[in-house]
């Protein structure tokens, strides 16, 4: 990373960098890595326009911990794709919390994918790789294959998100999308359209009860026969 990420250059950030007690529960012995990621977001993340300066005081609660707690929904040794990863949310907090999980960050923009590659290298995360491209591109699908889980955060409405996620998920795998308080309404609005893409059993799940504000996600399951079109009646 650039020299901007060095603690001595930003002494005013030291107090803010100290994580809340819940970070011990979520990250355990890897809390130092989470602090390193916090520093990257608070410096290079701001410089690259990936985070707004006003987000710095709430990086822990609103971003890092909010994303990391979805690890409760990931099984051991699963393969995860994080689409539209941006600043690495939720993929990087998840990778820090769960070193057993293999994570691919899929990001189309060069500036952002370069940021992610440098962050992964700086943090020494051996369970993460970065792929530049759009989730809906055939070349990306050919490169990454299929995942057990596809994650996302603030990427798109469910209907569009399911079209991008479904082709990347194995049959029986899951789409896990971090959403807000309107998650239930979004499910009711888009359920039929999402079903056409091969994602069914949409439900709202809350995780991270240790947080002051738990994380709300929408979980859907890839159907076994998704992608098989029914013949038209004549």
Q: What is the pLDDT of residue 225?
A: 61
Residue 161 pLDDT > 80: yes
Kindly list the distances between the CA atom of residue 60 and the CA atoms of 24, 26, 63, 72, 156, in Å, as whole numbers in the listed order: 12, 12, 6, 18, 23
Q: Given this model, what pLDDT does residue 14 score?
A: 79
pLDDT of 227 over the 60 cut? no
**Which residues share a beta bridge with 176?**
151, 219
Q: Return d(Cα 111, Cα 125) in angstroms, integer.
A: 20
Residue 50 annotated as lining a ligand binding site = no
pTM equals: 0.89
The answer to whether 72 is annotated as binding is no
Check whether 15 has a pLDDT greater than 90.
no
Query: How confident is the model at residue 229, as a pLDDT?
Result: 47
pLDDT digits (tens, 9 = 90+) for 29-81: 999 999 999 999 999 999 999 999 999 999 999 999 999 999 999 999 999 99
| Helices and strands counted in the chain (H then E) | 10, 7
Superfamily of domain 65-222: Vaccinia Virus protein VP39 (3.40.50.150)
Give me the phi and psi of 107, to 5 degrees please. -140, 125
Quote the pLDDT of residue 66. Answer: 97
| 42-71 exposure pattern, b = at least 16 Cβ within 10 A, e = fewer | bbbbbebebbeeebbeebbbebbbbbbbbb
**What is the maximal distance between C-alpha atoms in the chain?**
72
- Rounded mean pLDDT of the chain? 91
Q: Is 177 annotated as a binding residue?
A: no
- Please tell me the distance from the alpha carbon of residue 121 to that of residue 139, in angstroms, as a whole number: 25
The whole-number average pLDDT for the span 122-151 is: 97
Does residue 166 have a pLDDT over 50? yes
135 is in an annotated binding site: yes
Residue 161: CA atoms inside 13 Å, Cβ hemisphere, count?
A: 26
227 appears as a binding residue in the annotation: no
What's the length of the chain?
Answer: 234
């Amino acid at each position: 990373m650039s020299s901007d990420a060095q603690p001595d250059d930003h002494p005013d950030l030291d107090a803010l960098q100290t994580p809340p007690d819940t970070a011990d529960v979520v990250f355990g012995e890897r809390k130092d890595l989470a602090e390193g990621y916090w520093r990257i977001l608070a410096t290079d993340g701001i410089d690259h326009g990936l985070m707004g300066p006003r987000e710095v005081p709430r990086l822990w609660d609103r971003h890092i911990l909010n994303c990391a707690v979805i690890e409760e929904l990931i099984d051991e040794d699963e393969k995860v794709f994080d689409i539209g990863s941006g600043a690495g949310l939720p993929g990087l907090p998840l990778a820090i919390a769960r070193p057993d999980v293999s994570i691919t960050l899929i990001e189309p923009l060069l500036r952002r994918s370069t940021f992610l590659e440098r962050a992964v290298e700086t943090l020494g995360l051996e369970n993460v790789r970065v792929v530049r491209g759009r989730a809906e591109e055939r070349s990306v699908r050919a490169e990454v294959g299929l995942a057990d889980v596809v994650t996302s955060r603030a990427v798109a409405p469910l209907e569009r998100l399911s079209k991008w996620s479904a082709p990347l998920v194995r049959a029986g795998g899951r789409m896990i999308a971090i959403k807000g308080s309107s998650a239930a309404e979004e499910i009711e609005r888009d359920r039929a359209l999402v079903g056409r893409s091969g994602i069914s059993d949409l439900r709202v799940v809350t995780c991270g009860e240790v947080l002051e504000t738990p994380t709300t996600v929408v979980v859907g399951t890839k159907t076994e026969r998704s992608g098989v079109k029914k013949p038209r009646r004549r």
